[in-house]
């Protein structure tokens, strides 16, 4: 399963993404929805990567997003995961 967040920039840096992600993790654990969660972001998106780190996810590696054209500045992504 994948966990992600997308919020308006007027709400950035207030802890909302981290808080919501932690609630999702708690729910997934309580309901035993899966054994592992994944999240990914474009390499330049340091804020989202920091959320992944704060919620306890581990870096798994890099990949090129298949939906983005070669040479696109957001093509390279980082993959994180969390065992529940």
pLDDT digits (tens, 9 = 90+) for 7-30: 999 999 999 999 999 999 999 999
- Pull the structure tokens for residue 1: 């399963």
* 9-83: CATH topology: Aminopeptidase (3.40.630)
What's the pLDDT score for residue 66? Answer: 97
Phi and psi of 81, rounded to 5°? -145, 165
Number of H helices, E strands in the chain: 2, 3
Give the mean pLDDT of the chain: 97
**How many of the other CB atoms lie within 10 Å of CB of 39?**
22
CA angle, 21 as apex, 18 and 25 as ends, to 5°?
A: 135
The predicted model scores a pTM of 0.94
What's the pLDDT score for residue 19? Answer: 97
């Amino acid at each position: 399963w994948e966990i992600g967040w997308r919020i308006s920039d007027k709400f950035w840096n207030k802890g909302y993404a981290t808080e919501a992600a932690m609630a999702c993790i708690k729910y997934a654990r309580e309901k035993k929805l899966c054994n592992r969660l994944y999240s990914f972001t474009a390499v330049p998106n340091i804020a989202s990567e920091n959320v992944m780190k704060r919620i306890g996810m581990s870096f798994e590696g890099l990949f090129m997003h298949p939906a983005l054209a070669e040479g696109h500045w957001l093509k390279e992504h980082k993959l994180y995961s969390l065992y529940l």
